[in-house]
Structure formats: structure tokens, C-alpha cells
């Protein structure tokens, strides 16, 4: 579907919507859904779960960095004993600002990737969202495996 501003029956502010329409070998036509550029691929098959799993595991490998930052912050600040109201003046560890920035910016980047890979791309291609959103549970798996193995 292509949408562009244009004139529709004398209304200059109306949008003109163009639907892609194609005919098959028997002469029957249908409206093309999604991006229309899938080249005749199947929309969603039972075996297409592996693409969602691999994509989310790769996102999870990138999510190790903000995960390490959050773990560092939790471990360091759990040991501090603050009795003042809003934090400890001058007693925070040296790398606190860097680790906080790594956790916040890295976490935001990972959430953005999950939004694009698991919501926007399948929605544009006409693939089932429940499959991709269900596979987001694999994102923390690389961090958990690396933590259990003692690599991080």
C-alpha cells in the first residue's frame, strides 16, 4: 500500500491510497498485504520459529553489556550503608556514572531493538506477532548462561 498526499475529488488535504493488486496464474486477483515485496514467500509457517529465536538470542548477546552494568550497580550499592536522606555524599564507587550510563543507554538500545525486531518488522511483513513476542523471553538467556558458566 502506498499512501501519499494528493487531490481526491477536489479535496487538496485528502490522502490518496494505492493498493497493490496482483493476479495469479488462474487470473484471480488479490490485494497484496504487508510490504508487498516478499517475493512470493510464505507468510508464516510452523518452521519459521527459528528466525525469531535466533534474532532474540542475538539481541540477548548484546544485552549482556547493560546486564553487567546493572549487576555491578546492584552489587556495589547493596554494600553501601547510607543513613542520609537522598544518597551517600562522596561514598559512591568511582565507576558509578559510567555504569549507570551503560545500564540506561544500553538498556534503551536493547528495548529499541526488541521493538523494531519483534514488533515493527513482523507487523510490516505480515508475520504473526505472537510468535515474535513470545520469543522475547530468550533475550536474557545469554546473560543467564554466561553468569551460570562464570564467564562474566
pLDDT tens figures, 77-97: 765 566 655 656 555 667 788
pLDDT tens figures, 33-89: 554 444 444 454 555 788 889 999 999 999 999 999 999 888 877 655 666 556 565
Residue range(s) defining the domain that contains residue 138: 48-149
pLDDT tens figures, 115-141: 999 999 888 888 888 888 999 999 999
80 in a structural domain = yes
137 in a structural domain = yes
- Burial code of 117-152, b = ≥16 C-beta within 10 A, e = fewer? bbeeebeeeebeeebbeebbebbeebbeebeeeeee
17 in a structural domain = no
Model pLDDT, residue 99: 87
Give me the phi and psi of 128, to 5 degrees please: -70, 125
Q: How many domains does the chain have?
A: 1
Model pLDDT, residue 13: 55
6 in a structural domain = no
The pLDDT of residue 12 is above 50: yes
22 in a structural domain = no
**pLDDT grade for 9, boundaries at 50, 70 and 90:** low
61 in a structural domain = yes
79 in a structural domain = yes
144 in a structural domain = yes
Amino acid at each position: 500500500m502506498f499512501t501519499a498526499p494528493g487531490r481526491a475529488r477536489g479535496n487538496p488535504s485528502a490522502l490518496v491510497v494505492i493498493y497493490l493488486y496482483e493476479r495469479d496464474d488462474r487470473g484471480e486477483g488479490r490485494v497484496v498485504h504487508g510490504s508487498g515485496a516478499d517475493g512470493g514467500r510464505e507468510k508464516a509457517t510452523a518452521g519459521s520459529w527459528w528466525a525469531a529465536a535466533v534474532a532474540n538470542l542475538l539481541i540477548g548477546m548484546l544485552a549482556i553489556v547493560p546486564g553487567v552494568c546493572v549487576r555491578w550497580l546492584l552489587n556495589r550499592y547493596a554494600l553501601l550503608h547510607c543513613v542520609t536522606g537522598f544518597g551517600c555524599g562522596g561514598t559512591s564507587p568511582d565507576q558509578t556514572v559510567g555504569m549507570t550510563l551503560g545500564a540506561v543507554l544500553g538498556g534503551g538500545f536493547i528495548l529499541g531493538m526488541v521493538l523494531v525486531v519483534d514488533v515493527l518488522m513482523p507487523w510490516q511483513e505480515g508475520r504473526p506477532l505472537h510468535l515474535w513476542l513470545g520469543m522475547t523471553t530468550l533475550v536474557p538467556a545469554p546473560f543467564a548462561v554466561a553468569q551460570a558458566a562464570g564467564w562474566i
